[in-house]
Each structure stands twice: as C-alpha cells, then as structure tokens.
Amino acid sequence: MTETVSAVVTYGFTVLELHRIEASPLARNTSSRKLLLKLGFVCEGNLRERLLFRNRLEDEHSFGLLKDEWLKVVSL
C-alpha cells in the first residue's frame, strides 16, 4: 500500500501540479494513519462522529500534505 499511495501522491504533485493533498481516514483505522504519517502527511484534526459507517457514528481524522513538505520527504 505504501508504494501505491506514494505513487498517487507523486502523480498529484508532479503531473497534476497540486499544491495540497488531503486524506480523511476513519479515526480507528490505525494502518491508514501510520501510512499517511510515514509519507509526510500532517494530522490536522479529528472530526467527531462525522460519518455513519456500518450503523455506527465514527470519528474521522483530517490529514494534509503540502507540496513543499512532500519535497522535503522525497529528497531524504
């Protein structure tokens, strides 16, 4: 999954020339949170009981990555 998300982010910043990419996993999805942090995303907040998922209200985390931050990660 790391390679796939990394490729999508690279495409977004290089081909589409995006300035910012966002991700919003469920708060209980620890694998997604770890992956986003590994790729340089910053957790920008927690939206409490934001989504109804499988008949249960779930919190959603908000992550963002700016192109300048991404460039620092890929140049390591």
Examine the pLDDT at 23 and tell me if it is beyond 90.
Answer: yes
* pTM recorded for the entire structure: 0.88
Choose among 29, 9, 27: nearest CA to 18: 9
Choose among 42, 43, 51: nearest CA to 69: 42
For the chain, which domains are there?
2-74 (3.40.630.30)
Q: For residue 43, what pLDDT is reported? A: 96
pLDDT tens digit string along 32-73?
999 999 999 999 999 999 999 999 999 999 999 999 999 988
Q: For residue 48, what pLDDT is reported? A: 96
Strand boundaries in the chain, DSSP class E: 20-23, 42-53, 56-66
Cα(58)–Cα(45) distance, integer angstroms? 14
Cα–Cα distances in Å, from 15 out to 10, 11, 19, 27? 8, 5, 11, 30
Q: For residue 76, what pLDDT is reported? A: 67
Q: For residue 74, what pLDDT is reported? A: 85
